[in-house]
């Protein structure tokens, strides 16, 4: 699906899916390492609708642009990235819980 790509071809790089906890029962998922050619606002909007959660795109000093989603969404995000052929399984790194 070419919906998420801009006109340039993608450079291969690793993406990180990290789950952290805000409080003892509430979690958030941070996805970093995105390729600059991707339309992150569109991807974030699609993920929020598909996963029924809140989220946003923000710029991080060290990691560049990141997507933050509420809840432990690591398995769902992984399945989405593979299904939409945005990244291969060997390009995805898991961190956190």
Q: What is the CATH number of the domain that holds 47?
A: 3.30.780.10
Q: Please classify residue 59 by burial: count the beta carbons closer than 10 Å to its beta carbon, then call 0-12 exposed, 13-18 middle and 19+ buried.
A: exposed
Q: pTM value?
A: 0.81
- Domains of the chain: total: 1
Question: How far, in whole angstroms, is CA 36 from its chain's centroid?
Answer: 13
Cβ proximity of 60 and 66 under 8 Å: yes
* Containing structural domain, residue 76: 2-96
97 pLDDT higher than 80: no
Q: Measuring CA to CA, which residue among 41, 21, 18, 17 is closest to residue 89? A: 17
pLDDT tens, position by position, 43-95: 999 999 999 999 999 998 888 899 999 999 999 999 999 999 989 999 999 98
């Amino acid at each position: 699906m070419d919906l998420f790509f801009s006109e340039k071809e993608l450079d291969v790089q690793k993406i990180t899916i990290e789950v952290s906890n805000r409080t003892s029962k509430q979690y958030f998922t941070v996805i970093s390492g995105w390729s600059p050619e991707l339309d992150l606002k569109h991807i974030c909007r699609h993920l929020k609708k598909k996963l029924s959660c809140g989220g946003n795109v923000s710029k991080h000093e060290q990691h560049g642009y990141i997507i933050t989603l509420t809840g432990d969404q690591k398995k769902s995000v992984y399945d989405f990235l593979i299904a939409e052929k945005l990244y291969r399984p060997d390009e995805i790194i898991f961190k956190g819980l």
